[in-house]
Chain A
Amino acid sequence: MEFAKLCSIFAAGLAMGLGAIGSAVGEGFIAMKAVQTMSRQPGSAGKIVRVMLIGQAVTETAAIFALVVSLILMFQDVTGDFVKGFTFIAAGIAIGFGTIGSGFGAGLPGGAACEGIGKQPENADVLTINMLIGQAVSQTATIFSLTIALILIMLEPRSGIVKICSILGAGCAIGFGAIGPGIGDGIVARNANLAIGKDPANMGLLTRTMLIGQAVTETTDIYSMVVSLILIFVI
């Protein structure tokens, strides 16, 4: 078997194996909070289950991104030399590690929404909307990783050890760099949702502050993306 094909299969495993971690933990967190809340408030079980399922569906987005990259890596026709193989490994690292943070982070606001509904079941709609906004913005880290991973898969690099190392470096930068901001975004959205659950009157102010806080939290991920793009296109 060719080296490049070998690398793409290896990278497919890397992408899906690592990419499942974050979402699985995040979904488990939502289910845990939902069950805890239900044991205290069995009356609002229906609403809690509905929010839990919506939240879990969005949390899964990160793992679905990893699945898409994994499928592309497995089924595409690989043509290319020795160096091309390393772009696949770098793409696998980028999306595999990159989904851990967002997957876990998207779970946190979902759990908070379940808790909030347990306290005041009439806030379910407000909480669901804020949870969805918070979760969608938490996915930004994964979207950056996915972008870099797709660029890496399509890349036709020149040969040489310098290029190999720069491609691997680009994958490491965006892959590991997305872990922290993903979790951080989730923490912001979780606390905003908890606060809305206590007093839904402040929703406009809290959603606004949450968005600014999440945008600033993502800054280091943007630095990682800048470094990755430089390593891919400039070097």
Chain B
Amino acid sequence: MEGITGQELIKALALLAAGIAMGFGAIGPGIGEGFAAGKACESLGKRPDEANLITRTMLIGQAVSETTGIYSLVVALILIFVV
């Protein structure tokens, strides 16, 4: 294999870092969103007449829990395309 320039090494490690950032960044939001939706199902079982309110709150809660996942996505895309 021919020599590796510093520029190439930076690019390569940035790509690896992008994968690791997105991979580990997805663990927390996944479990957290699962808790939100799980509790929503539980309370829906108790109060089925409040289905609209519960579903809306579940979706908003999941959207906010997902924020850190979106941070990871943004960081990964920056690492891929900008660095």
User: What residue of chain B has the Cβ atom nearest to residue A188's Cβ?
Assistant: B37
Using a Cβ cutoff of 8 Å, how many contacts connect chains A and B?
A: 199
- With A180-B27, A217-B34, A220-B66 given, is the CB distance from A165 to B41 under 8 Å? no
User: What residue of chain A has the Cβ atom nearest to residue B54's Cβ?
Assistant: A209
Map CB proximity to A onto B8-32 as digits: 1 under 8 Å, 0 otherwise.
1101110111111011111111111
A195-B33 in contact (CB<8A): no
Of the four ranges (under 10, 10 to 19, 20 to 34, 35 or more), the interface on chain B belongs to 35 or more
B23-A173 in contact (CB<8A): yes
Given the complex, which residues of B lie within 8 Å of A181, measured CB to CB? 26, 30, 33-34
B59-A216 in contact (CB<8A): yes
B30-A206 in contact (CB<8A): no
Set A141, A161, A187, A224: member contacting B23, Cβ < 8 A = A224
Leading 9 A-B pairs by shortest Cβ distance:
A184-B34, A169-B19, A180-B30, A195-B45, A213-B37, A176-B23, A181-B30, A177-B26, A191-B38
Query: Could you write out 24 A-B pairs with CB less than 8 Å apart?
Result: A161-B4, A168-B19, A170-B19, A172-B19, A172-B20, A176-B26, A180-B31, A183-B34, A184-B34, A187-B31, A188-B38, A191-B41, A195-B41, A195-B45, A198-B45, A202-B48, A209-B51, A209-B54, A212-B37, A213-B40, A217-B34, A220-B30, A227-B76, A227-B80
